[in-house]
């Protein structure tokens, strides 16, 4: 008695389960890589902002802007002197 048992159905089932398992893990890996890429971009953006702010602060410290005298102060400085007349009479 020779029985010709065919295992093709079981072999195909193992192959299908392996492929489905690999696809399932592929999506997990793809989601994890997307999250890591997003965090990397966020980190680079924050680093760029911090570098720009640091450069601006360093530039302000090393090159201070001279104080500009307002117009009213210059007018008051010009009016005060030995040849200027006071606005109120001096008794």
Q: Residue 24's pLDDT is what? A: 86
The yes-or-no verdict on residue 2 having pLDDT over 80 is: no
The tokens 């410290």 sit on which residue? Answer: 61
Q: Residue 74's pLDDT is what? A: 56
At residue 50's C-alpha, the angle toward residues 45 and 52, to 5°, is 95
Question: Which tokens in the block code for residue 74?
Answer: 């210059």
Residue 47: pLDDT band with limits 50, 70, 90: very high
d(CA 14, CA 20): 10
Q: What are phi and psi of 10, to 5 degrees?
A: -70, -40
Mean pLDDT of the residues in the chain: 82
Q: Residue 43's pLDDT is what? A: 97
Give the count of alpha carbons within 13 A of 37, CB side only: 6
């Amino acid at each position: 008695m020779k029985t010709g048992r065919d295992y093709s159905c079981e072999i195909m089932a193992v192959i299908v389960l392996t492929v489905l398992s690999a696809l399932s893990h592929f999506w997990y890996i793809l989601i994890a890589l997307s999250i890591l890429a997003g965090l990397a971009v966020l980190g680079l953006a924050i680093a760029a902002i911090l570098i720009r702010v640091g450069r601006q602060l360093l530039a302000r410290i090393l090159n201070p802007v001279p104080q500009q005298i307002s117009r009213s102060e210059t007018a008051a400085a010009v009016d005060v002197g030995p040849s200027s007349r006071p606005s109120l009479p001096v008794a």
